Amino acid sequence: MPSYKAPVDDVRFLLNDVFNFDKYNNLAGFSDAPADVRDAIIDEAAKFAEQVLQPLNRVGDLEGCRRGDDGSVTTPTGFREAFRQLAEGGWLGLVTPAAYGGQGLPQTLAQVVGEFLISANMAFSMYSGLTQGAVAALLVHGSEAQKKAFIPNMVAGKWAGTMNLTEPHCGTDLGLLRTKAVKQADGSYRISGTKIFISGGEQDLTENIIHLVLARIEGAAAGVRGISLFVVPKVQVKPDGSLGARNGVSCGAIEHKMGIHGNSTCVMNYDNAAGWLVGEENKGLNAMFVMMNEARLGVGVQGLAQSEVAYQNAASYARERLQGRALSGAAAPDKPADPIIVHPDVRRTLLQIRAFNEAARAMMVWLSLKSDVAHRSEDAREREAADDILGLCIPVLKGVLTDNGFANTVAAQQVWGGHGYIAENGMEQFVRDARIAMIYEGANGIQALDLVGRKLPRDKGRAVAAFFAEVGSFVTENAGVEVMAPFVAPLGKSLGHLQTATQWLMQNGATRPDNAGAGAADYMHLFGLVTFGYMWGLMVKAAQQKLRDGASAHLTTKLVTAKVFVERMLPETAAHLARIQAGAGTLMELPADEF
Amino acid sequence: MPSYKAPVDDVRFLLNDVFNFDKYNNLAGFSDAPADVRDAIIDEAAKFAEQVLQPLNRVGDLEGCRRGDDGSVTTPTGFREAFRQLAEGGWLGLVTPAAYGGQGLPQTLAQVVGEFLISANMAFSMYSGLTQGAVAALLVHGSEAQKKAFIPNMVAGKWAGTMNLTEPHCGTDLGLLRTKAVKQADGSYRISGTKIFISGGEQDLTENIIHLVLARIEGAAAGVRGISLFVVPKVQVKPDGSLGARNGVSCGAIEHKMGIHGNSTCVMNYDNAAGWLVGEENKGLNAMFVMMNEARLGVGVQGLAQSEVAYQNAASYARERLQGRALSGAAAPDKPADPIIVHPDVRRTLLQIRAFNEAARAMMVWLSLKSDVAHRSEDAREREAADDILGLCIPVLKGVLTDNGFANTVAAQQVWGGHGYIAENGMEQFVRDARIAMIYEGANGIQALDLVGRKLPRDKGRAVAAFFAEVGSFVTENAGVEVMAPFVAPLGKSLGHLQTATQWLMQNGATRPDNAGAGAADYMHLFGLVTFGYMWGLMVKAAQQKLRDGASAHLTTKLVTAKVFVERMLPETAAHLARIQAGAGTLMELPADEF
């Protein structure tokens, strides 16, 4: 059975030493989370993840969710009680303003807690994650009455929330959606249509479910300009806040999936369900886009979280499994064989995963802080600058963390040899669970197109120019620092590759858009490597400064892991650049029926 | 539901045009397979795979195998009848000599047929594949009496065969094995111990199962030098060939695995089971090694086969799924959206899989022909030369085809978006099934070590020198041919990377063996890319020659796919070389408990 230990030391190092959390004390909520409060939150979250959620991870995979003939859905044994504890512990309302029953703490803290929960039990964490997403959407776009009616009960864990976008014939291309809304005399709407892939669409954890649903108002324009957002409670809510009649929405089926079995993925049938407009008519997609950064950040963290827990279990197996001898001669001559961690190839596998995990975690914190600044700063220019970087880097984080996070679960499984293929050992579940994160919340190919097609050119490239300036300054400032040089020189080179690629795309994408599409995935990964290189630079700098106060194993390991990144992973930027420059020509030569 | 169409045209192109099958007519069996016979075999195999095996693939995944309380195992619905048809069609004895009931045809034909069967139903194909492996072992090492007693019934599909190597505490390191054999007065042995991960260890397809078992004779040396090979029938065979009493071997459990559910993976308990020595005492591991090339070739083909069927289903989905518009403007303005195959990123994904599949298939045929020459030529030097290349390239084929074959199933699944994650659509089964091939028959890290540690230095590097000479001559001979230059110039460059890496490993591996271990996986993939580049060179040359007789879509597509390989995949050799040259230093710095 796999185990999990939340990386609390690494989180503290990032918050305190690398990103200087306390310097954001001018932002709302930050002064409520000084070091001792943060420590307590982190430790409690770790305990909850390790002791309550992790033991339910395999149970959830084995049992899955079951739909009854009446359309009800039963979640795996223990999920109900765990969800109750999650709500009681206040974890659902960490960032929600106090006015709606939350604690108003920084988004950054919610993300580091989120990583722990997802590592422990990804399928379970989706029930709360989507509820928090629905709360965020209502906070930004809901009327005051809607916020009051729904959010406090969602934060308290009495009600949950879902997002209903996809239909059988449309996922990426929401302009095709058919679910319709008919306006009623009382100002409400009647919603009819079929939604698929609705995570937590039906469950037995909460007494009500607040569905946020994209639909087209009768007579609205075709395409994305005719889509509106509605709130559709499973059970109607009376004016006094008590529950009324069952609404016309039901779970028609649950999907049999590769993984995340513990989360119910539902086909939702809307049959004249009563719904209420959220925000303005025909602006539903905008409403969704506003909260997309946070949702994609959350999915990116799923990639990291599965990679982290897979790493831990691969490392512990490698320390214990006795098989063969070290190439340099027996390391444990008193034992029948050496532990396989003596082998450079096993160490390479583990250290590359670790070099990813720690950079990804740093990127998560870095961007979460940007998100906090973008939402909470009182300085409009500061907000704009933070939002620029956030918007630019979010598709990178989502695509790169989930692509590599998945690949890392596969690599970690490989360390277990044949035993990694056996369900009881849990390594293969990490692979199956992590796989979905590359797909949903915008498949990674779409993230790459968003980066290249929308985020790069936006505001005449203001965001990417700011990113180059930030990383470029770090390189320049540290190039002369002896202990930093081995890390920043390669970073400078890779930054050059990224700048060349950016120019190439701007020029060649303008003359032929397919050139941008052909290079998008490589560009996203090139961008990710440079960002990771920057994160490693920041971490090395913080570690070097701390080392002056005395050595520690954590800091030494940090520096070795940084070297692995620079030696083995960062140089890949050259190959990405070459592939981008290959352009679209060859790819577009064949007619469709020759594939 | 996924579908499958065997790539018969591509196989014919390889056999007839690229590798000139008929020039091997001096070898036993080849003249029995002229073009019309080959065509008939290929077409019949395609039909059997497409019509009988493929429809059972999802059934096998859903039902899995069930063990009864009596230790019997029930295979999925339809497998019994399909196995009967497989035997009746003569597919089990394609290469077995006529003296033992087979047809004595070339190994090369069996491999191309094997690819079809595995694409259609990997779990099913393992029952026959392991039976053929056991037959091969008996052919090489068994006594005449053993061959007569077992092989004809195995070829006829009345009996099946298995390989019993792994034990709970030892997989890679067989020197640790504990299963013991006690010699009896009649010359037989009593075998006792527990074997795990035994594919087809128990099943209901055949009336008997012939287990080949590695065990240590009482009093034999510790380690690999004390291991012997035994044949242990599930049901004892009387001198007249009829079945006798049940032997002391039984299935104690079946594993719950990530994939290949249709194949029973058994824990086998040997309790004083009657067994007979195969070959010499204490030479059991040698006996296994002799047949390892063919077994690893077969597992490598599993990687290719899953990649091929995943490709086909991704391509057909991409042609049909309407979503969004082409970046260059609507391609199907009469439809609500364009098929996603208009997108360069989707084409890139598909063409890279295809460029792998076709090179991998060529490599399979190339090495199968080497195997045929190594076993059937009457010229000792020819046999040695063929065996050199075969031994050198087999770990490359096994590791590279299964690593990339798996990655390709993941990429193909991604083309399906959210629908790829749903079990009913079958794409996720390809991923789960393909995953095992990276692990068994020597995990890919072991393949890399075999290549670097054993195959490179063997006979003072004779094999790798021959490989360099073969590829080098091809580059030199075609460098001046105008239509070939765009393909051989990059190949020459990548061959240079491989030669540099080889020298680096020989020098730095000698002074510090961990340097060889640290670079092994990258070296294996670098070697694979160069081999693929060579295969593409051979295919392009054959296609160019054929094009003089008239254009065809197949040949044009071949040339476009070759360009994709050269533009986007072959250049990766530079990054592999750089990582190899990074050496083991950083990887070995940390103590084990810091992981």
DSSP A80-113: HHHHHHHHHTTGGGSSS-GGGTS----HHHHHHH
B428–A258 CB contact, under 8 Å: yes
- Structure ipTM: 0.97
Task: Give the integer Cα–Cα distance in Å for B480 and B496.
Answer: 18
Residue range B483-516, pLDDT digits in tens: 999 999 999 999 999 999 999 999 999 999 999 9
Average pLDDT over residues B444-465: 97
pLDDT value of residue B131? 96
Name the DSSP class of A247: P
Q: Chain A partners of B431 at a C-beta cutoff of 8 Å?
A: 258, 435
Please name the residue of chain A whose CA is at the shortest distance from the CA of residue B577. A568
Give the β-pairing of B243-246 and B249-254: unpaired
B452 by Cβ neighbours in 10 Å (0-12 / 13-18 / 19+) ranks as buried
B453–A327 CB contact, under 8 Å: yes
Instruction: Specify the higher pLDDT residue, A295 or A251.
Output: A251
pLDDT value of residue B8? 98
Average pLDDT over residues B326-336: 94
A417–B171 CB contact, under 8 Å: yes
Helix (H) or strand (E) holding B160: strand B159-164
pLDDT value of residue A569? 97
Residue A523 touches chain B, beta carbons under 8 Å: no
> Which residues, in sequence order, are CB contacts of B539 under 8 Å at separation 6+?
B13, B14, B18, B358, B359, B362, B558, B562
Give the β-pairing of B159-164 and B208-217: parallel
pLDDT surpasses 80 at B176: yes
User: CA torsion angle for A235, A237, A238, A239 (degrees, to 10)?
Assistant: -170
Question: How close is the nearest chain B Cα to the Cα of A372, in Å?
Answer: 31
Question: Picking from A83-92, A292-301, A527-536, which range would have the lowest pLDDT averaged per residue?
Answer: A292-301
Give the β-pairing of A265-278 and B73-74: unpaired
Q: Chain A partners of B436 at a C-beta cutoff of 8 Å?
A: 421
B436 → closest Cβ in A421, A513, A516: A421
pLDDT value of residue A83? 98
> Which residues, in sequence order, are CB contacts of B409 under 8 Å at separation 6+?
B306, B307, B310, B427, B430, B431, B434
pLDDT surpasses 90 at A294: no
A324–B172 CB contact, under 8 Å: yes
Q: 3-class SS at B328?
A: coil
Predicted confidence band of residue B293 (pLDDT cuts 50, 70, 90)? confident
Q: Which residue has the tokens 């490179």?
A: B456
pLDDT value of residue A288? 82
Residue A493 touches chain B, beta carbons under 8 Å: no
Residue range B192-202, pLDDT digits in tens: 999 999 999 99
B94 by Cβ neighbours in 10 Å (0-12 / 13-18 / 19+) ranks as buried
Residue B308 designated active-site: no
Report which of B207, B215, B196, B265 is spatially closest to residue B237, judged by C-alpha positions. Answer: B207
* Contact predicate B425/B419, CB 8 Å: yes
Helix (H) or strand (E) holding A356: helix A344-376
Q: Chain B partners of A424 at a C-beta cutoff of 8 Å?
A: 256
Report the mean per-residue pLDDT for chain B.
Answer: 97
pLDDT surpasses 80 at B441: yes
Q: Chain A interface, mutation test: which of B452, B587, B594, most A Cβ atoms within 10 Å?
A: B587
pLDDT surpasses 90 at B290: no
pLDDT value of residue B583? 97
pLDDT value of residue A290? 72
Please name the residue of chain A whose CA is at the shortest distance from the CA of residue B313. A595
Task: Give A361-427 as a DSSP string.
Answer: HHHHHHHHHHHHHHHH-S-HHHHHHHHHHHHHHHHHHHHHHHHHHHHHHHHHHHHTGGGGGBGGGSH
Task: Give the integer Cα–Cα distance in Å for B465 and B135.
Answer: 33
Please name the residue of chain B whose CA is at the shortest distance from the CA of residue A440. B418
Residue range A451-502, pLDDT digits in tens: 999 999 999 999 999 999 999 999 999 999 999 999 999 999 999 999 999 9
Report the mean per-residue pLDDT for chain A.
Answer: 97
Residue B63 touches chain A, beta carbons under 8 Å: no
Q: 3-class SS at A4?
A: coil
Q: Chain A interface, mutation test: which of B61, B164, B347, B529, most A Cβ atoms within 10 Å?
A: B347
Measured from the Cβ of residue B186, the count of other Cβ atoms closer than 10 Å reads: 8
pLDDT surpasses 90 at B366: yes
Question: How close is the nearest chain A Cα to the Cα of B120, in Å?
Answer: 19
pLDDT value of residue B288? 82
A595 → closest Cβ in B315, B436, B453: B315
pLDDT surpasses 80 at A227: yes
* Contact predicate B304/B401, CB 8 Å: yes
Measured from the Cβ of residue A476, the count of other Cβ atoms closer than 10 Å reads: 11
Could you say which residues from 316 to 355 on chain B have a Cβ atom under 8 Å away from some Cβ of chain A?
A: 318-319, 322-324, 327-328, 336-337, 339, 341-351, 354
Measured from the Cβ of residue B99, the count of other Cβ atoms closer than 10 Å reads: 12
pLDDT value of residue A372? 97
Instruction: Specify the higher pLDDT residue, B125 or A510.
Output: B125
Average pLDDT over residues A19-43: 96
Task: Give the integer Cα–Cα distance in Å for A359 and B78.
Answer: 50
Task: Give A512-525 as a DSSP string.
Answer: -HHHHHHHHHHHHH
Share above pLDDT 90 across residues of chain B, in percent, rounded to a whole number: 97
At A211, give phi and psi (nearest 5°): -90, 130
Residue B410 touches chain A, beta carbons under 8 Å: yes
Please name the residue of chain A whose CA is at the shortest distance from the CA of residue B569. A579
Task: Give A200-212 as a DSSP string.
Answer: TSS-SSSSEEEEE
Please name the residue of chain B whose CA is at the shortest distance from the CA of residue A347. B587
A518 → closest Cβ in B318, B348, B418: B348
Give the β-pairing of B265-278 and B249-254: antiparallel
Please name the residue of chain B whose CA is at the shortest distance from the CA of residue A222. B336
Residue range B220-244, pLDDT digits in tens: 999 999 999 999 999 999 999 999 9
A418–B553 CB contact, under 8 Å: no
Catalytic residue among A441, A482, A589, A594, which? A441
pLDDT value of residue B190? 98
Residue A235 pairs in a beta bridge with: A246
Residue range A171-202, pLDDT digits in tens: 889 999 999 999 999 999 999 999 999 999 99
Residue B485 touches chain A, beta carbons under 8 Å: no
Question: How close is the nearest chain A Cα to the Cα of B589, in Å?
Answer: 7
B173 → closest Cβ in A337, A347, A520: A337
pLDDT value of residue A1? 82
Catalytic residue among B88, B207, B441, B572, which? B441
B439 → closest Cβ in A169, A354, A418: A418
Report which of A129, A56, A66, A47 is spatially closest to residue A429, judged by C-alpha positions. Answer: A56
Residue A431 touches chain B, beta carbons under 8 Å: yes
pLDDT value of residue A406? 98
**Structure token pair of residue A55:** 């033991």
Could you say which residues from 224 to 283 on chain A have a Cβ atom under 8 Å away from some Cβ of chain B?
A: 255-259
Residue range A92-117, pLDDT digits in tens: 999 999 999 999 999 999 999 999 99
pLDDT value of residue B412? 98
A586 → closest Cβ in B173, B341, B563: B563
> Which residues, in sequence order, are CB contacts of A505 under 8 Å at separation 6+?
A452, A456, A515, A516, A519, A523, A580
pLDDT value of residue A396? 98
Check the CA dihedral B171-B307-B302-B469 and report its sign: negative
Which of B507-538 are b and which e, b meaning 16 or more Cβ less than 10 Å from the residue's Cβ? ebbeebbbbbbbbbbbbbbbbbbbbbbbbbbb
Residue range B15-26, pLDDT digits in tens: 999 999 999 999
Measured from the Cβ of residue B64, the count of other Cβ atoms closer than 10 Å reads: 19
